[in-house]
Amino acid sequence: MSQTSKKTPSDGESKSETSFVNRFLRGSNLGSSKADSRKENNDPTTADFQPSDETQKTAALDTAKPLTSEMDLGSRMEKNEQFLQKLGKKAVDKCLDLNNCRLTTADMREMVALLPFLPDLEELDISWNDFIGGTLHLITQQMHLVSKLKILRLGSCRLTTDDVRALGDAIKVIPQLEELNLSWNGKVGGNLPLLLQNFQEGSKIQTLELVDCALTSEDGAFVGRLLPVLQNLEVLDLSINGNIGGSVNSIAQGLKSTSNLKVLKLHSCGLSQKSVKLLDAAFGHLGELRKLDLSCNKELGGGFEDSAAQLATLERLEALDLHQCSLTEDDVVSLTQVIPLLSSLQELDLSANKKMGSSSEHLLSRLRFLPTLKSLLVNNCALQSETFSALAEASIHLPALEIFDLSWNKCVGGNLSLLLETLKLSTSLQVLRLSSCSLLTEDVALLASVIQTGHLAKLRKLDLSYNDSICDAGWTIFCQNVWLLKELTELDISLRPSTFRNCGQWFRHLLCAVTKLPEITEIGMKRWLLPASQEEELERFDQDSRSSIHFDHGGFQQADFP
């Protein structure tokens, strides 16, 4: 979600920036009317003509009407510009972004007044404005004025049933629509046919996002029937609609007609083992699919045992998300035959599948056949020493790896040396997460030695939190070398919620290192207790250093724990 800061534009605006008013005044006929008037006064054929009093009155009235209209137009446009300035926005011909502006009903009326001046508008975003629910008719009644609209975003606007119905009627007058986002509007659920029934054969819609809309099983079935109409559909996101699991049969049948689909997201949709079988039959028709998200469907476990064959046909798949799907040992065996065949895969998320721990050795070993893999998330998978060893060996063959998350796998502790070659060879690694891995002092000393020899130069985020077994000597060695990570932006060394410890002398080394890290913005060290002397050092650092660096230590001091 984009965040829009509210600021008032300064008075000293650059001359190169054309004001909203002037841009439209140049397009009016005000200037030409004055020129015509001057020309008429100098015309010799009319100079001797003396109209009667009645004719003069009529002429005065006739010329006053357009002049008044033009004056009103200028006044209206000036008010429009003031409205946009109030929101810290600027109007452009093709895009009006009022996302997260806390729009009120009065603001909506002012926004609608803008539409006649934006006939070429292609993108309208009023998402994350919680107070406009019930007022959408103000826009939909004027939607014909922006018939070239291609992108309409109304996420999290608290739309009412009447809003949904009004928008459904307005769909007919914006035939160029390519993207529609109605996510986080609960009243869409149960009313989806009212909204989308006006999509016709040949619709240009490419992106349809209905995240967390409280869709019913009937809505899901309707989507399945609608999909064959949406031949240009490229992105379909139905995530966080837990009741559509029962209508997957209809959705899967409809997906067979969406051969251009590139992104399919069914995160937390109540999918079951049977759902996997139904979807797998559709995968053979989705040759263009780039991203598939089936995550957080806890009843899905066991569904891949005999139903992953068509998944292997997704030769262009770049991202596969199966985190928190309760994958079974049989699922892992089946996926072992499939995932290594996805040669275009760049992102793989298998995290939070704890039954993988003892059965994923062969799967993780075969990841070496995915040389383009950039992101690998296997956190909280209860990996055991054998599976971790297989993963460590395979990771050597992943030169493009940028994100590596091993958090919450206790077997990493005392065995980080297995990743030594990977850490040395990973010239692209930007994010390394080793939270709650039971790391020992020897592990963090090894990491420090890798840093000292010039490796991990691209690292931007490093998470070593919840590793309470590392002694002060280990933190000292680490803090003495962390300054070499010149691109580091975030570092987390926080303790577990149940643990509080005094900061050792290593804290001074950390402060010294931070002064040599030009990109650092966030340092997490929650539950580390600062004695008064170190608290003073930190205060002096905050005063002398860049204010953009945030030390998150929770405000605890040693004195708080006598």
Instruction: Identify which has the larger pLDDT, 414 or 22.
Output: 414
Rounded mean pLDDT, 149-164: 97
Q: What is the pLDDT of residues 437-464, one digit of tens each?
A: 999 999 999 999 999 999 999 999 999 9
Side-chain-facing half-sphere of 100: CA atoms under 13 Å: 6
Q: How far apart are CA 75 and CA 77, in angstroms?
A: 5
Q: What percent of the chain has pLDDT over 90?
A: 73
Q: Which of 362, 471, 361, 473 is nearest to 411 (CA)?
A: 361
Instruction: Assess contact for 212 and 240: CB atoms under 8 A.
Output: yes
Instruction: Assess contact for 533 and 557: CB atoms under 8 A.
Output: no
| Cβ partners under 8 Å of residue 11, min gap 6 | none
Q: How far apart are CA 235 and CA 258, in angstroms?
A: 10
Instruction: Assess contact for 272 and 300: CB atoms under 8 A.
Output: yes
| Cβ partners under 8 Å of residue 62, min gap 6 | none
Beta bridge partners of 207: 179, 235
Task: Count CB neighbours of 499 within 10 A.
Answer: 12
CA distance to 182, 347, 348, 429, per residue, from 370 (Å): 36, 10, 10, 16
Q: How far apart are CA 402 and CA 387, in angstroms?
A: 21
Confidence band, pLDDT 50/70/90 cuts, at residue 17: very low
Q: How far apart are CA 322 and CA 324, in angstroms?
A: 7
Does residue 478 carry a pLDDT above 90? yes
Q: What percent of the chain has pLDDT over 70?
A: 82
Rounded mean pLDDT, 39-57: 40
Does residue 166 carry a pLDDT above 60? yes
Q: How far apart are CA 187 and CA 163, in angstroms?
A: 9
Rounded mean pLDDT, 254-264: 97
Confidence band, pLDDT 50/70/90 cuts, at residue 556: low
Q: Which two tokens stand for residue 245?
A: 């699991």
Confidence band, pLDDT 50/70/90 cuts, at residue 267: very high
Q: DSSP readout, 117-157?
A: G-TT--EEE--S-TT-TT-THHHHTTGGGGTT--EEE-TTS
How much is the mean pLDDT over the chain? 86
**pTM, entire model:** 0.84
Residue 265: phi, psi to the nearest 5?
Answer: -120, 120
Q: How far apart are CA 438 and CA 476, in angstroms?
A: 18
Rounded mean pLDDT, 491-499: 96
- Residue 545 has a pLDDT of 62
Q: What is the pLDDT of residues 178-203, one digit of tens each?
A: 999 999 999 999 999 999 999 988 89
